Structure 1
């Protein structure tokens, strides 16, 4: 007798069941809550309200209610929040896939809609599953520097996150009581027959195949997959030998070079189209504008200004980061003072232009609190040596706790108070 996916007898895995699904659901409830919060923090760190320079998300409206001036302390803040966001997201992939597998029979249940309440529940599930897959797929592609999706990653990921959250909250309200009952049944050690009586709408197969793996074994398989992904990605957020364990990450493994400039980069000078003639020390000029006018400085003139040092990491949205590097250069607030911002008032925002011709963030904006921090530099040297071409020679911005893309390389212009 032919069986179809709409028939409960079609699904014969003895592993499926409300206990299995509920445990996975509670893990996702905790993990995805952390992902959502750290994702919102990452969006806030980009300073998206600065005159649409850093962010092209139109009509955020109420979705931007939580935005605030991103702090500069502690200096490793973005390294922590984005490292947690990306590493946890990768580690949850096996849990998400196992959860979807565990409930797939319900996608084919007939009739597809039994009531208005059932219709709303299925609509929330469509948004929940679609939103989760969209967020994970686009996030992983971004981590792997493979932008195989239309439009900019930032607005797509932001909108997708809010759609997912709405469906996620509706699902939690509907399913959390049953999930907790199922976990209590698991802890009480109920037999399968008792479990089936205790839970309505059970996912247990009515005619299961002989088991090839116990449910406990299935949990170990899912947990082991998560542990492997965690172990092969977390190292890129740390220093020292642990970085070499991040074999699945574009910026994992050994340092890409030796010497003072031998640490990770995201984009090379050649990749973004830097013209070596424009970046040559004898030809390059920094243009600084502000309240009192415009100042043009050669590299030699910059080096005659008071120079300061700061130990700061680079942390990128893809989740990788460097150790603290020793940067040396001119404080941004001292450059602001050259063009009329030298007083007790709050330091100005600044618009930063780069020589790069290709890629996003050819322009970036920093808030006044970032400009005013004594560790925020227009860096000329790193670890006691002039910047290499790939690290932004002749000058780059370095700011505590800021995402890597706001630490603009190959800087050619600073417009203070322009936003």
Structure 2
């Protein structure tokens, strides 16, 4: 007699709160966080990599614009991590629903959920590792993170469209659809949601001080403290990491190429009219801090080279390696009177790690484009 195989049965989950009402409550918080991340991420991407038609119209004001949007991007992304974990906890029993595929529509729905979960986990994990500048993968972070963001946004919109009737039924506390849920679960649900909110608030409070400096005393989990670094300002990329060795002051030249090209020694550059700007360094990893900069206005250097008022410029660094050793600056930035070729930081000569002998500082501009160790400006 052949042995009989046991019948396959789905597991039984005895825990409560794996219901649509709890999933909807956590899902709307998570949806807001992802929407904020997506919107601010688009701003960051197009400020870093503007298409040609947009490059000259990107605004240089408000000066704190990128600091605010990128700080919000990182804060929302970090807050979304406990929200995503809570959301997955409320719905994971559905992974074991039986039969696993009931129809073509159900199969497509499960596929969209798989894409949604995978995209969310990928975006939050890679984004978190980017804040500490750790890249344990073979691909380039920026283009892949940007592409998957669009995939995640599409999967989220599809999921909301498919689940809209259920979401609407369980959205409010007085919705008719909530009457079928056990009343005894109300206190437990409130406790669970309070715990989730507390976790999201805790990770935000202990990290957001790296960009929102009034809370810098609480940033115990942030990878950067806004006061730690040479001359009181953090550094992402050191001179050694960029391959910039000792700069011979006597041999250094700033070359400005345009209709009337010229070169300046460091002493000649320092002898020009110096201007001051209080501007933030705002890095894509989420930290930022305002500092006092002194140097020559870029618009004055361009005017001396005979550049037309609509010209953009290319900035070339002494840096030997890196994707941003050559950058371009659109018209609004290049001719803003606050944009400097800075020689001093907080009243002191730039350190090598801060871009000695000269660096760009411009308002409302990502930190990776505030080129350090500048050796050439080219009028385009």
TM-score normalised by the chain length of structure 2: 0.91
Matches within 5 A, 1:4-403: 7=10, 9=12, 11-49=13-51, 69-184=57-172, 194-195=180-181, 214-239=188-213, 242-252=215-225, 254-257=227-230, 261-276=231-246, 279-292=247-260, 294-323=261-290, 325-341=291-307, 343=308, 345-346=309-310, 348-403=311-366
Q: Secondary structure at the match of 1:390?
A: helix
Q: Report which stretch shifted further, 314-323 or 381-390.
A: 381-390
Q: Deviations over 1:247-295 (max 9, x none)?
A: 22221275335xxx2221212212222111xx23222111211233x32
Q: Deviations over 1:116-142 (max 9, x none)?
A: 222221221121111111111111110
CA apart distance, 1:189: 10
CA apart distance, 1:357: 2.1
CA distance in 1 between counterparts of 2:118 and 2:212 reads 33
CA distance in 2 between counterparts of 1:306 and 1:262 reads 26
Q: Deviations over 1:214-242 (max 9, x none)?
A: 222221221121111001111011235x2
Whether the aligned pair in 1 keeps the contact of 2:360 and 2:370 (CA below 8 Å) is yes
**Structure 2: stretches of 5+ with no match in the other structure:** 1-5
CA distance in 2 between counterparts of 1:105 and 1:166 reads 24
Count residues with an aligned counterpart.
Answer: 374
Whether the aligned pair in 2 keeps the contact of 1:19 and 1:186 (CA below 8 Å) is no
CA apart distance, 1:190: 5.4
TM-score normalised by the chain length of structure 1: 0.83
Whether the aligned pair in 2 keeps the contact of 1:78 and 1:315 (CA below 8 Å) is yes
Whether the aligned pair in 2 keeps the contact of 1:328 and 1:382 (CA below 8 Å) is yes
CA distance in 1 between counterparts of 2:338 and 2:56 reads 21
**Structure 1: stretches of 5+ with no match in the other structure:** 51-64, 197-210
Whether the aligned pair in 1 keeps the contact of 2:254 and 2:265 (CA below 8 Å) is yes
Q: Secondary structure at the match of 1:183?
A: coil
Distance 1:222 1:67, change over 3 A: farther
Distance 1:40 1:273, change over 3 A: same
Q: Secondary structure at the match of 1:184?
A: coil
CA distance in 2 between counterparts of 1:254 and 1:408 reads 21
Q: Report which stretch shifted further, 18-27 or 397-406.
A: 18-27
Root-mean-square deviation over aligned CA pairs: 2.5
